[in-house]
Amino acid sequence: MFDNIDPDACLYLSMDDGDIIIVLVYVGDFLLVGSSMKAINKIKKALRKRFEMKDLCEAKVILGLEISLDKTLGTLKLSQRKYAGQVLEKIDMAECNPIATPLEVGLQLAMSEKSDESLPHREAVGSLMYLMVGTRPDLAFAVGKLSRFVSGYGKEHWAAVKRVLRYVKGSVDKGLVYKKSASGILQGFSDADWAGDYETRRSTTGFMIICGGAAVSWASKLQKTVALSTMEAEYMAFCEASKEADWLDKLI
């Protein structure tokens, strides 16, 4: 018998003879985690009786996220090396020269009146967004900034996108490494740049929440209103981080 974990409609938990079994569902795919192989095999057997399913054994890849487990070191790494390579190939940037940072410091862009449809701007930003959402918080600010111009972009916007792709080229091995020895206590950090967007004078909220030695949640986005001071901008960023931390705390 599985119970839904209230904060997440796709997460289910079962307690069976002292064993814990967790199931995470995404459409037709799911991950099964248990405190013992006996419990996992028992659940698999029960599921096969009800559903037609394909058992891929130990999880290696799911939804483009690569899972690397090192039981000796007690670490689990999530990365998207293959997906990043596919993005570079698709945008014809596989042979580009790598660069150390995703964006120029202080870069300002303005919305173009008409988009240059000859440039694969939307496709590239969308592909980078999935990379950022999955395992790359270091791309959050750049992707958040560039996604504002998907309805009006030109050569200057495309040049900025290509710089991000060059950064990805030099960092395809980056990922999130969780450690068994690390603290399981949630740690949150937030920040804001005051009136950083020159067109709207709105500030950008940034936050990251860490658990188990690596990030579990992050964001970089324009604030909804114009902050009248640096303190107000920081307060709004802190509020967003606190709401996310509260949700994660309930989930845990």
Interatomic CA distance for residues 161 and 123, integer angstroms: 11
Q: What is the pLDDT, as a whole number, of residue 124?
A: 96
**Which helix (H) or strand (E) is 67 found in, with range?**
strand 65-70
Burial level of 142, CB count in 10 A (0-12/13-18/19+)? buried
Bridge partners (DSSP) of residue 217 are 209
Spatial CB neighbours of 159, under 8 Å, sequence gap ≥ 6: none
Q: What is the pLDDT, as a whole number, of residue 16?
A: 81
Q: How many CB atoms lie within 10 A of CB 248?
A: 16
* DSSP conformation class of 96: P
Question: How does pLDDT run along the chain (252 residues), one tens digit per residue?
Answer: 789 888 899 999 998 888 999 999 988 888 999 999 999 998 889 888 888 888 888 899 999 999 999 999 999 999 999 999 999 999 999 999 999 999 998 888 999 988 998 999 999 999 999 999 999 999 999 999 999 999 999 999 999 999 999 999 999 999 999 999 999 999 999 999 999 998 899 999 999 999 999 999 999 999 999 999 999 999 999 999 999 999 999 998
Sheet holding 214-222, edge to edge: 187-193, 204-211, 214-222
Interatomic CA distance for residues 163 and 101, integer angstroms: 8
Using alpha carbons, select from 136, 138, 146, 153 the residue that is nearest to residue 197. 146
Q: What is the pLDDT, as a whole number, of residue 1?
A: 77
Q: What is the pLDDT, as a whole number, of residue 23?
A: 92
Residues 194/167/127/236 CA torsion (nearest 10 deg): -20
Is residue 211 within 8 Å of residue 123, measured between CB atoms? no
**Which helix (H) or strand (E) is 159 found in, with range?**
helix 155-169
Sheet holding 3-4, edge to edge: 3-4, 11-16, 19-26, 29-34
Q: How many helices (H) and strands (E) does the chain have?
A: 6, 11
Q: What is the pLDDT, as a whole number, of residue 94?
A: 95
Q: What is the pLDDT, as a whole number, of residue 173?
A: 94
